[in-house]
Amino acid sequence: MPRFEVSRTLVKSPPELWAELGPDCLESALGTVSVEETEPEREMAFSGDGVRGTAVLEPAGWGTKVTLTAETEEQVARAGFWGRLRAPEAAPKHAELEDKLSEVLDNLGSAHKRPFSRG
């Protein structure tokens, strides 16, 4: 099973990130997923179409370290090297999973509200 892990320290508090991190946040990158809170405001597990993983929040200095880990079982991974050469059209469904997980971190790290605005 291919395993992907991305982590980043974001300048937001754990409760603030926990409120943003959920099915809607993960579905924007991974498609339909179900989310289960495994440790309140610290760790959650998610699973979806061919992918499962965890999201972990840890206090870190001036922010929060967010680690997203995902595993996927691919037909191409089971076919091996020669199978990939013979069937290039059978590209892995989650080939860009690491990029998608990084996109989730980018979205979590960006400001969603404009400071000092009235609306």
Beta strands of 11-62 (E only): which ranges?
33-39, 43-48, 51-60
- Write down the H helix ranges in 21-90: 23-30, 75-86
Please report the pLDDT score of residue 91 as a whole number. 46
3-state DSSP percent of the chain in helix, strand and coil, to 5: 35, 35, 30
pLDDT at 82 over 70: no
Q: Which residue has the tokens 């590209």?
A: 91
pLDDT at 119 over 80: no
Percentage of the chain modeled with pLDDT above 70: 72
The torsion angle over the Cα atoms of residues 4, 67, 21 and 57, rounded to 10 degrees, is: 160
pLDDT digits (tens, 9 = 90+) for 6-54: 999 999 999 999 999 888 888 888 888 899 999 999 999 999 888 899 9
pLDDT at 66 over 70: yes
Please report the pLDDT score of residue 55 as a whole number. 95
Q: Which residue has the higher pLDDT, 83 or 99?
A: 99
Nearest alpha-carbon partner for 44 in 25, 74, 20, 22: 22
Q: Which domains does the chain have, with CATH numbers?
A: 3-106 (3.30.530.20)
Sign of the four-CA dihedral 68, 73, 76, 81? positive
Please report the pLDDT score of residue 34 as a whole number. 92
The pLDDT mean for the chain works out to 80
Q: Which residue has the higher pLDDT, 71 or 93?
A: 71
Please report the pLDDT score of residue 89 as a whole number. 47
